[in-house]
Chains A and B, each alone.
Chain A
């Protein structure tokens, strides 16, 4: 029999970016807030301090900040004719856990989605005709526009101390910025990152070919900064231990650095770690949430009553919790009905491996998660898609993420995988290689969706989330196009002696890392037949449950998700504060 705790106003599932933002804002609006975090408390000091945090084995290979696959993983299949099997260890993505979630171990690559990401169906149809969409694509417009979200993007910029050079201030193009950048109301709060050698070489070659390279915006502070919450950040020192690591320097933006110290000073804000949420409990008519059930750190089942429940778990884990709770109608690809789990996508990534002459010393360990030169010439709808016959796009860049050698010891194709020749090639190329990274959009189809697995269970006996996914032909054509462009730039780069383009091919495999950008499944929209939540993140069927995070995306952009995750979290919580608290009930009827 579960223990029942005193009721709170707001129960938030998950202590990452969205939980921290929404929790702090609602606490400031005099709500009694409890954030339920399944992981343990983790703080930059002492948990992420050097030298101990500079440990590739622990953080990258042994997943210290990743969801523990032993207790909860996903099952995977390429299509509905296969039987899904569990991903028994992490390879395809690194879902986060512990306080701060994936907001701790992210890279800090910081973008806003393009305006055409928000009206992809109508925009492409208007410019190219409806036939630009393959028949299998279920891409759909968001319910709100970029212009509506801009103030919230701006707010997140100043929370995280974003660094970059504005390319478009209120419609005015800016020198040295990205000419394709969507308009922004204010400059970045901090100047751009320093530029390592390989990105500089990429930028020179791209410019020479007539493209428009720029320094990638980042969520790593480039100078001492006091953020919008009055919290201090320090300058990034380009340590090269960023992606998969916590930041010791208070330089990489995270919930711990940017919000939680302020929230935790409020008497009506509580974070409860070791609280593993099992489900949202509904009233008998299933029209209202009563609160959430979780297992505490001692293994005891607890019921936490709440007036409002906000789902802020790692993106697709929100989808699983809705399915486990019986909230919303599960998507059925056979009948094409239902919504929960629909329009799941990943990120269509590819790359071009570059090998340099021995005079070109790359120093791959001098970097950071988000230190890059990027170009947007083939992102979004920045180029004429008519001749190419696909929708979407992606950016091309060289970023210097990590030279940690368990994971980074590139050798040209044809090199033996062990022995003296392997060793010789590893030594030859370690300081003389780089990779052009291509981050492409991902379109959903009827066959890309999430559901509960009928066979496999988590450590608490509940069904795992089942991923059914393969790349649509649209994305394969896009990847071929983008990767060819990348190869062209690579061949033009000074010092390059060999390029190895690797366009994305079918089938999707769960055995190679392709970003942790798992999106969709609780699409945001205006139509309850094709969305789970309305334009304010409120569940159509259960209006005192809200959903935040990347599970809202109806499809994935070619830009990294966190900027849009942060902006939509502010968008949602401001509507709750402005209207819902005064008059609880459906915000859209």
Chain B
């Protein structure tokens, strides 16, 4: 992959890192940050922990699946005038890590049969693990778009992609035995998780999800702020990888 730093954004990030007064308080960085060009690779400067994007190894997705996931996540949470989207946040890498790991294999999912449809109130009743569902769903989507539009999903226009996603969400695509709306919901949940979880999981690169909303991340001590009603917190968000470790023992005085 070609590495192309997004200069404008880098400048803003630098200002925040240096603690320029007001950069965070006003949220001006988000309003003035130029949109990452759709389709542009993620900025290497937005991935301090992961190294250049070309070096990130995929553990679950093949190249086609990763392209599709990039394209899907870029429509679910687009890069726009509010800042980077899910693709720039590395959601594909987040999903890749999750699907390759214990969660992807269904380590928290009750998988004994018989499998029956049930009522809506009984919830998820399919046999697919997350990994099985995403792999199968991406393959079905690929078949469907090639058949109708002659191209894989990732190569369609944004408008075409949105139309496919809307149909998928409405359950109108036949991906049987996988209901397309269930597949869509898994993609959406995974994308939101990747956009907002700690960057150590591969997504939310440079904490762009947290910066969008003003969440301080793993920073967590508000004794002195909680009764300053209505005052925007002006600190810097931190991730688990960059936060200072501490170790309290029974009887330590605190706060």
Contacts and interface: CB of A to CB of B under 8 A. Distances in A.
Interface of A: 44-46, 49-52, 54-57, 61-63, 68-70, 73, 76-78, 82-91, 194-197, 200, 224, 231-232, 234-241, 248-251, 257, 261, 359-361, 363, 365-367, 371, 403-406, 409, 417-420, 422-424, 426-427, 430-431, 455-457, 507-511
A70 B102 CA distance: 12
B222 A88 contact: no
Interface stretch (B15-23, B53-61, B62-70, B211-219): B211-219
A237 B85 contact: no
Contacts of A261: 250
B110 A86 contact: yes
Interface in B226-250: 226-227, 229-233, 238, 240, 243-250
The 7 closest A-B pairs by CB, nearest first: A239-B220, A51-B243, A430-B213, A366-B222, A54-B218, A232-B251, A197-B229
Given A70-B111, A232-B251, A403-B215, A83 B116 contact: yes
Given A76-B122, A197-B230, A423 B212 contact: yes
Given A70-B111, A235-B255, A361-B232, 17 more contacts: A49-B248, A50-B245, A51-B240, A55-B198, A57-B193, A62-B103, A70-B106, A88-B125, A238-B223, A240-B220, A261-B250, A363-B233, A366-B233, A417-B169, A420-B82, A431-B232, A511-B120
A62 B218 CA distance: 17
Interface residues of B, number: 73
Interface of B is mostly: loop
A426 B107 contact: no
Contacts of A194: 223, 226-227
B147 interface: no
A90 B240 CA distance: 26
Contact of A409 (B123, B213, B220): B213
Of A61, A62, A365, most buried by chain B (CB within 10 Å of CB) is A365
B200 to A, nearest CB: 8
A76 B225 CA distance: 44
A404 B212 CA distance: 13
Interface of B: 30, 75-78, 80, 82, 85, 103, 106-112, 114, 116, 118-125, 162, 165, 169, 188, 191-193, 196-198, 201, 209-210, 212-218, 220-223, 225-227, 229-233, 238, 240, 243-255
A352 B230 CA distance: 21
A456 B254 CA distance: 48
A482 B255 CA distance: 37
B121 A238 contact: no
A51 B245 contact: yes
Contacts of A367: 222, 226
A289 B162 CA distance: 63
A257 B119 CA distance: 42
A56 B199 CA distance: 12
Of A57, A420, A457, most buried by chain B (CB within 10 Å of CB) is A57
Contact of B196 (A46, A239, A406, A455): A406
B159 to A, nearest CB: 12
Of A250, A366, A403, most buried by chain B (CB within 10 Å of CB) is A366
Contacts of B76: 418-419
